[in-house]
Amino acid sequence: MIDQFINFVIRPPRAEYNPDQYLWETEFTYAGKSYKRLDLELMNKRGHCLKCSHYVPSSFHEGNPLPCVIYCHGNSGCRADANEAVIVLLPSNITVFTLDFSGSGLSDGEFVSLGWHERDDLHAAVSYLRSNKQISGIGLWGRSMGAVTCMLYGAEDPSIAGMVLDSAFSKLYDLMLELADVYKIRVPKFTVKMAIHYMRQVIRKKAKFDIVDLNCLQVASKSFIPALFGHANEDKFIQPHHSDLIFKSYAGEKNIIKFDGDHNSSRPQFFYDSVSILFHNVLHPPRASPSCPAKVEKCYDLANLKVSGSVDEGLLYEIIATLRSVGADSASSSSVFHSGSTTESASEHLPEIPMANSDMAGGDRIVDNDITQLQDNEDSGNEECFTRLRLQ
3-state secondary structure of 138: strand
> Residue 195 burial by CB count (10 A; 0-12/13-18/19+): exposed, middle or buried?
middle
pLDDT tens digits along 198-247: 999 999 999 999 999 999 999 999 999 999 999 999 999 999 999 999 99
Q: Are 389 and 20 in contact (CB under 8 A)?
A: no
Q: Quote the pLDDT of residue 352.
A: 45
pLDDT tens digits along 55-94: 999 988 767 899 999 999 999 999 999 999 999 999 999 9
Q: What are phi and psi of 144, to 5 degrees?
A: 60, -115
Q: Which residues on neighbouring strands pair with residue 43, listed in sequence order?
A: 49
Q: What are phi and psi of 247, to 5 degrees?
A: -60, -45
How does DSSP assign 300-324, residue by residue?
---TT----TTS-HHHHHHHHHHHP
pTM: 0.78
The CATH topology of domain 2-376 is Rossmann fold (3.40.50)
Number of Cβ atoms within 10 Å of the Cβ of 184 = 11
Nearest one of 121, 99, 114 to 168, comparing CA atoms: 114
Number of Cβ atoms within 10 Å of the Cβ of 58 = 13
Polymer length in residues for the chain: 392
**Whole-angstrom Cα distance, residue 35 to residue 29?**
6
How does DSSP assign 326-364, residue by residue?
PPTT-EES-TT------S--GGGGS---EETTEETTT--
Q: Quote the pLDDT of residue 364.
A: 60
Going along the chain, which residue ranges are E strands? 27-30, 33-43, 49-57, 66-72, 95-99, 135-143, 163-166, 227-232, 254-259, 331-332, 354-355, 358-359
Nearest one of 128, 130, 96 to 28, comparing CA atoms: 96
Q: Quote the pLDDT of residue 231.
A: 98
> Residue 194 burial by CB count (10 A; 0-12/13-18/19+): exposed, middle or buried?
exposed
Among the residues of 208-268, which ranges form H helices?
Answer: 216-220, 241-249
Residue 157 CA from chain centroid, whole number: 18
* pLDDT < 70: residue spans in the chain: 62, 183-190, 288-392
Q: Between 172-182 and 189-207, two packed helices, what is the crossing angle to 10 degrees?
A: 130
Q: What are phi and psi of 343, to 5 degrees?
A: -100, -15
**Whole-angstrom Cα distance, residue 227 to residue 250?**
9
Q: Quote the pLDDT of residue 184.
A: 62
The ranges assigned to domains in the chain are 2-376
3-state secondary structure of 135: strand
Q: What are phi and psi of 283, to 5 degrees?
A: -100, -20
Q: Quote the pLDDT of residue 211.
A: 96
Q: Are 138 and 116 in contact (CB under 8 A)?
A: no
Q: Are 140 and 211 in contact (CB under 8 A)?
A: no
How far are the Cα atoms of 33, 293, 383 from residue 93, in angstroms, in the given order?
A: 11, 11, 38
Q: Quote the pLDDT of residue 187.
A: 64
Q: Which amino acid is at 13?
A: P
Beta-carbon contacts of 306 under 8 Å, excluding residues fewer than 6 positions away, are 297
> Residue 328 burial by CB count (10 A; 0-12/13-18/19+): exposed, middle or buried?
exposed
